[in-house]
Amino acid sequence: MAVPRVSADSLALLLGPAQAGTPAYRWLTERVELLVSDGRLVPGVRIPSERDLSTTLGLSRTTLVRAFSRLTELGYLESRHGSGRIVRSPATRGPRSREPIPCGTTAAVVDDGALDLASASMPAAPGVFDALRSAVEELPAYTSGTGYLAAGLPSLREAVAEHYCRQGLETGPENVLVTAGALDAMSLVASHLLRRRDRVVVETPGYPNAFGALRQSGATLVGVPVNRPDVDVRALVETARSTGAAAIVVVADFHNPTGRLLDDEDRAVLRDGARRLGVPLVVDETLRDIHLDTDVALPGPVADGRGDVLLLGSAAKTYWGGLRLGWVRGPAERIADLARARLSRNLGEPVLEQIALASLLRNRPGLDDQRRTEILESRDAALTVLREHLPAWTFTVPAGGFSLWCGLPGASSSALTVAAARRGVALVPGSSFSATGHGMERAVRIPYSLPTDQLTDGLLRVAAAAAEVTGGT
């Protein structure tokens, strides 16, 4: 099979102009590192020969050999006999990690090398590395101050506000509070809105870490089943009314784990119902940007500028979990109260990452085509394996998000999790997504955020585990 290659002219275009004052070998080394880390120079591609690049870039072959030798040491290039130098990804040299999700005692223990079907997250999106490098260059402008920006970097608050204005929701910086991710936002909102023994209406299944944040405030969770794509959102409002709940918490966009997307009518029912009851409506928008089937229209934000609706956003799924940044968008008075309340726990987020995120929101808003294509390919791979090797499993294909919520006829997700762990696959039992922490043994979440080859391998192992636990059903 022919090895794909990038031409000298194309690589020169990707590299851009040399940086004045920087030795040529160092500039070339750093630019290739950036291109690989940023996803613009993909692993497996052959780069041009030193002779071709020397002519195109106007650099000596000695300079090129020095840079390529250093890149080989760092793991970005490898020499193959007959194929020249091939791009590699050094990511495997870094620490392996997965999205931490609390599990019950039935959860299986797997080693760090397991195929990760427990996380619904991806590595950094293209542009993140470049934004962080650019942020380092901007950072000196901020170091003359104290670095304490309790409500968030002004430029980031403005960028988030612009993000909502583009969606048709009038928003100013005064409507935005920067947090350490959506989960931190949930924790802050819960501690501010809820008192011990307050009831809060939540969807079940739902995101386990959000449940944990709400419980930390001392609240009692009242779960309303949403285990179907045609959930009646009026039940959420009616349950809040009948229980005297202090808040309603929902995921309207590509719900985790079911993938459900609420339409405009359902959003209005929730928003208007909460307003009539006089209770805050908290909406987790972490997955809103993961819009895959673009022929399915994405409704506007749940908030309409009236009432006490708090939208919790995050950089984690769109860009990278390592940025550890999110926000709350809400009425200016509520945001000011939250900013004052957070001072006893946090004096603000790191400035460098905020500079980078402001740049990403302005220059690379939402899910770009490359990222969308990668996720769709993984989703298609998951569907192929499930339909061929686990035909009795039931699921609805979501228009976005990172996961399938699968029904297991006659199966136990806890037993499946243990059997999968023996085959080197990390899964999370369905009970972890329950508002009560138990039940849902006939369901399991299957994320499709891994590359297609790893995902296919992992799901084939899951199919073998299912055969052991359920006799192939």
pLDDT at 93: 47
Q: Rounded to whole angstroms, how far apart are CA atoms 36 and 79?
A: 16
The model's confidence at residue 1, banded by pLDDT at 50, 70 and 90, is very low
Residue 1 lies in a domain: no
Window from 166-170, 245-249, 365-369 with minimum mean pLDDT: 365-369
Q: How many domains does the chain have?
A: 3
* Segment 97-131, tens digit of pLDDT: 556 665 544 444 455 567 889 988 888 888 888 89
Tell me the residue range of the domain where 380 lies: 95-125+368-470
Same domain, 161 and 298: yes
pLDDT at 259: 93
The order of strands in the sheet holding 309-314 is: 176-179, 326-329, 309-314, 281-284, 247-250, 199-204, 220-225
pLDDT at 2: 56
Residues 447-471, mean pLDDT to the nearest whole number? 90
Integer-rounded Cα radius of gyration of the chain: 24
Same domain, 175 and 320: yes
Same domain, 66 and 206: no
Residue 417 lies in a domain: yes
Same domain, 133 and 19: no
Under 8 Å CB-to-CB from 137, ≥6 apart: which residues?
A: none
pLDDT at 227: 65
Output the domain CATH number for residue 241: 3.40.640.10
Domain boundary among 363, 386, 411: 363
Nearest 5 degrees, angle CA 433-CA 437-CA 443? 45
Residue 268 lies in a domain: yes
Residue 182 lies in a domain: yes
Residue 2 lies in a domain: no
Tell me which amino acid residue 72 is. Answer: T
pLDDT at 106: 42
What mean pLDDT value characterizes the chain?
Answer: 87
The model's confidence at residue 332, banded by pLDDT at 50, 70 and 90, is very high
C-alpha to C-alpha distances, 425 to 259, 350, 407, nearest whole angstrom: 22, 35, 19
Domain boundary among 319, 334, 363: 363
The model's confidence at residue 175, banded by pLDDT at 50, 70 and 90, is very high
- Beta-bridged to residue 115, according to DSSP, are 425
Domain boundary among 69, 92, 115: 92
* Segment 365-375, tens digit of pLDDT: 999 888 899 99
Same domain, 391 and 423: yes
* Segment 283-313, tens digit of pLDDT: 999 999 999 999 999 999 999 988 899 999 9
Residue 181 lies in a domain: yes
Same domain, 399 and 283: no
Residue 103 lies in a domain: yes
Same domain, 379 and 342: no
- Percent of the chain clearing pLDDT 90 (strictly above): 52
Same domain, 321 and 459: no
Residue 3 lies in a domain: no
Same domain, 25 and 46: yes
Output the domain CATH number for residue 77: 1.10.10.10
Q: What is the pTM of this model?
A: 0.81
Output the domain CATH number for residue 425: 3.90.1150.10
- The better pLDDT of the pair 437, 360 is held by 360
Same domain, 79 and 178: no
Window from 46-50, 149-153, 316-320, 354-358 with minimum mean pLDDT: 46-50
Same domain, 158 and 297: yes
pLDDT at 414: 85
Same domain, 181 and 107: no
